[in-house]
Structure 1
Amino acid sequence: MIELKQTSKTYEVNGKKVEAVKDVSLTIEKGEVFGVIGYSGAGKSTLIRCVNLLEKPTSGEVFINGVSLTTLSKQDLQKTRRKIGMIFQGYNLLKTATVYENIAIPLKLEGIDKETIQKRAEKYLEIVGLSDKVNHYPSQLSGGQKQRVAIARALAHEPEILLSDEATSALDPETTEAILELLLKINRELGLTIFLITHELNVVQRICDRVAVMENGRVVEEGKVVDIFTHPQHPTTKRFIGSESAFNLPEALKTEYRKTGKLVSLYFKGSEKSNEPALAMVSRKFDVLPSILAGGIEQLKNETLGKLLVHLRGDKEAYEEAIGYLESEGVIVEEWK
């Protein structure tokens, strides 16, 4: 549905060229939630604005449903943009307009009749849970409620694609979780394709099917969320997801445990095979004594991911046999270096 081909964006700043996006190629399938994560200055915001040509790429192409946006006339581009909704970190609501008017005014400017506007406003305010706030002004709403109005406004155009530009960055954790649940609901019930950018790992973890990691304008890693979480390859990805930092084990303890065995991170996907007591069987089958030091469960979009930090006490041969067994049982094993 969305395809970026060797897309680049260069700015001229004080007589110098700044490459915000460099040769990015991505494909986002219809109905999926695709996330782009990176630190500040990575080029995420510029990239998402290239999708609907709010920023026109310096080079490369952007395709929506197989149509190159860069070749469209101004009029045709405007029609295509109506199928691409967008929500922002700052909400962008009209302060002097009611919740209803914030949704109705853009539709009126689009030439939609009054009856259709009312039906859409009521429908999407109900979806976002704000039917009782229809006559409220933005100043009377919380941050989460303002973002819900912004989402309803974007949905009222009945787009096929929803772009999210750091939409939860200004919200507290509880409100962020509520907005993420709402985006999941929209994705599942309305079938919208969602393309989002964020610097928050939990956003990607909770709602994305696939993710790309950006650094210095380039995509340095891309894949399914579960694969990126369990096997990060690039140093930037490892800084976001690295298992060692997640468990936060003091260096003195690392050194002590390594004297008598190996430290490993074990990942159990929410599948039938990984629900078997694989770790418990290790001590029975092999001359290895496992000790669980830390653990937790992460909820991804469509499955759970269990994580354990384990000390495996035993000689090298027994350790390698135990690791081989765990991997054969569907457990993902990452040895601490």
Structure 2
Amino acid sequence: MIRLEHISKTFRVGKNKIEALKDVSLEVNKGEIFGVIGFSGAGKSTLIRCINLLERPTNGKVFVEDRDVLTLNKKDLRKLRRKIGMIFQGYNLLETATVYENIATPLRLEGVSKDEIKQRAEKYLDIVGLTDRRNAFPSQLSGGQKQRVAIARALAHEPEILLSDEATSALDPNTTDAILELLLRVNKELGITIFLITHELNVIQRICDRVAVMENGKVVEQGSVVDVFTRPQQAMTKQFISNEAKFAIPVQLKGELLKTGKLVKLTFLGESSKDPVLATLAKQFDVLPSIIAGGIDQLKDQSVGNLLVHIKGDQSKVETAVKFLHEQDVLVEEVNE
């Protein structure tokens, strides 16, 4: 659906060059929700704007449905952009126009018939749950409602791809959840491919199928959300998804626990969460496992359980118990310091 090959983008600021993107390659499959995460300045916004050529790459190729976007003339590029909707953090609504007119005006400028405009506007207002606010002005709406209008406006063009540029970063947690649920519905019910960028881990966890992690203009890691979330390879990725905050315990207590046994972080996926692993340790290896901390993270299609466990007992038995854990369908990380 979308394929970026060795994309680079350099900006000139006075006499200086700024490399916003450095040899970025990734592929988005039709019908999936693909997320890009990174801290501010990582190059995310530049990357998403390269897809519809709001930013033209300095080097590399951009393919949408196997068409080389960079070779299109102005007329064909305009046609392609009609298939690509876009929503922004700042909503970009016309403050002097009603909700209905914010959706209808861009369609009118495209030459869509009056009857078709009315049909589409009503259809997508219903989808985003704002039929009763059709005559309201943006100043009368909450942030979440404004974003819903922006989504309805993008959908009214009936695109095949929806680009989301930090669409939830200005919203409170409850409103963010509601917008994410809406995007999931749009993806599932309308079959629209969604490409989003964010610095919020929960956005990736909740709705994305695959994710790329960006740092300093480069993609440092990418894969399925489950794989990247549970088996991060790069330091940058670990900063985003590390469970250290959940498992923070006083240094003195950690030292005491390490003197009497081992500390291990256990991650349970799918069927492994149903196995009585800790009970087996106590019964089979004559050790005493104690849960120090834990939590559950909800990904799009499954839950991931995390436990910080102290295993106390004879050193050799503890080592055997840890070896047993490594052999199970459980991800094990030993905490040594």
The aligned counterpart of 2:313 is 314
**Equivalences for 1:276-287 in 2 at 5 Å?**
276-287=275-286
Instruction: Give the deviation of 1:119 after TM superposition.
Output: 0.9
Per the alignment, in what secondary structure is the counterpart of residue 254 of structure 1? helix
Q: Deviations over 1:124-166 (max 9, x none)?
A: 1111111110000000000000000000111111111111000
Instruction: Give the deviation of 1:276 after TM superposition.
Output: 2.0
Distance in 2, matches of 1:87 and 1:314, equals 56
Distance in 2, matches of 1:307 and 1:239, equals 17
Instruction: Determine whether 1:241 maps to 2:248.
Output: no
Instruction: Determine whether 1:116 maps to 2:116.
Output: yes
Instruction: Give the deviation of 1:174 after TM superposition.
Output: 0.7
The aligned counterpart of 2:147 is 147
The aligned counterpart of 2:3 is 3
Counterpart residue identity of residue 281, structure 1:
T
Distance in 2, matches of 1:223 and 1:323, equals 28
**Equivalences for 1:82-101 in 2 at 5 Å?**
82-101=82-101
Instruction: Give the deviation of 1:315 after TM superposition.
Output: 4.4
Instruction: Give the deviation of 1:329 after TM superposition.
Output: 3.6
Counterpart residue identity of residue 302, structure 2:
E
Counterpart residue identity of residue 139, structure 1:
S
Instruction: Determine whether 1:211 maps to 2:211.
Output: yes
Distance in 2, matches of 1:336 and 1:165, equals 37
**Equivalences for 1:247-326 in 2 at 5 Å?**
247-269=247-269, 271-326=270-325
**Equivalences for 1:36-47 in 2 at 5 Å?**
36-47=36-47
Per the alignment, in what secondary structure is the counterpart of residue 244 of structure 1? coil
Structure 2 unaligned spans of 5+? none
Distance in 2, matches of 1:255 and 1:239, equals 23
Instruction: Give the deviation of 1:277 after TM superposition.
Output: 1.6
Counterpart residue identity of residue 23, structure 2:
D
The question of whether the paired residues in 1 share the 8 Å contact of 2:246 and 2:294 is answered with: no
The aligned counterpart of 2:171 is 171
Distance in 2, matches of 1:160 and 1:324, equals 49
Instruction: Give the deviation of 1:317 after TM superposition.
Output: 4.0
Per the alignment, in what secondary structure is the counterpart of residue 91 of structure 1? coil
Per the alignment, in what secondary structure is the counterpart of residue 267 of structure 1? strand
Q: Deviations over 1:38-80 (max 9, x none)?
A: 1111111000101111000000001011111001111101101
The aligned counterpart of 1:33 is 33
The question of whether the paired residues in 2 share the 8 Å contact of 1:263 and 1:310 is answered with: yes
Per the alignment, in what secondary structure is the counterpart of residue 96 of structure 1? coil
Counterpart residue identity of residue 289, structure 2:
P
Per the alignment, in what secondary structure is the counterpart of residue 171 of structure 1? coil
Distance in 1, matches of 2:44 and 2:131, equals 33
Counterpart residue identity of residue 27, structure 2:
T
Per the alignment, in what secondary structure is the counterpart of residue 30 of structure 1? coil
Gap change, CA 1:136 and 1:264, over 3 Å in 2: same
The question of whether the paired residues in 2 share the 8 Å contact of 1:274 and 1:329 is answered with: no
The question of whether the paired residues in 2 share the 8 Å contact of 1:35 and 1:196 is answered with: yes
Q: Deviations over 1:109-132 (max 9, x none)?
A: 111111111111111111111111
Instruction: Give the deviation of 1:102 after TM superposition.
Output: 0.4
Instruction: Give the deviation of 1:282 after TM superposition.
Output: 1.5
Q: Kindly, what percent of the aligned residue pairs are identical?
A: 67
Instruction: Determine whether 1:194 maps to 2:224.
Output: no
Distance in 2, matches of 1:336 and 1:81, equals 50
The aligned counterpart of 1:333 is 332
Counterpart residue identity of residue 308, structure 2:
L
Distance in 2, matches of 1:246 and 1:214, equals 24
The question of whether the paired residues in 2 share the 8 Å contact of 1:243 and 1:265 is answered with: no
Counterpart residue identity of residue 324, structure 2:
Y
Distance in 1, matches of 2:91 and 2:83, equals 19
Distance in 2, matches of 1:265 and 1:234, equals 18
Between 235-244 and 23-32, the greater mean CA deviation after superposition? 235-244
Distance in 2, matches of 1:307 and 1:250, equals 19
Per the alignment, in what secondary structure is the counterpart of residue 246 of structure 2? helix
Counterpart residue identity of residue 23, structure 1:
D
Per the alignment, in what secondary structure is the counterpart of residue 310 of structure 2? strand
Distance in 1, matches of 2:18 and 2:190, equals 39
Distance in 2, matches of 1:317 and 1:223, equals 38
Distance in 1, matches of 2:322 and 2:108, equals 63
Instruction: Give the deviation of 1:333 after TM superposition.
Output: 1.2
Instruction: Give the deviation of 1:327 after TM superposition.
Output: 4.2
Q: Deviations over 1:244-301 (max 9, x none)?
A: 23322222222121111221111111x2343122222211111322110111111100
Instruction: Determine whether 1:57 maps to 2:57.
Output: yes
Distance in 2, matches of 1:197 and 1:223, equals 15
Runs of 4+ in structure 1 off by over 6 angstroms are none
The aligned counterpart of 1:132 is 132
The question of whether the paired residues in 1 share the 8 Å contact of 2:294 and 2:308 is answered with: yes
